[in-house]
Amino acid sequence: MKKLKITLAAASLLLAGLAIAQPSEYYLWKNKSSGETVCEPDMPAAQWTKQSGPYEDPNCKIRIPT
* 2-45: pLDDT as tens digits: 888 788 777 777 776 656 666 789 999 999 999 999 999 999 99
Q: With contact defined as beta carbons under 8 Å apart, do 63 and 51 qualify?
A: no
Q: Is residue 17 part of a domain?
A: no
Continuous H helices in the chain: 2-20
Residues 6+ apart with CB under 8 A from 9: none
Inside any domain, residue 9:
no
Instruction: Indicate whether 62 belongs to any domain.
Output: yes
4 Cβ contact partners less than 8 Å away, ≥ 6 residues apart:
none
Rg over CA atoms, the chain: 19
The count of residues in the chain is: 66
pLDDT-derived band at 55 (thresholds 50, 70, 90) equals very high
| Residue 32: domain span | 24-66
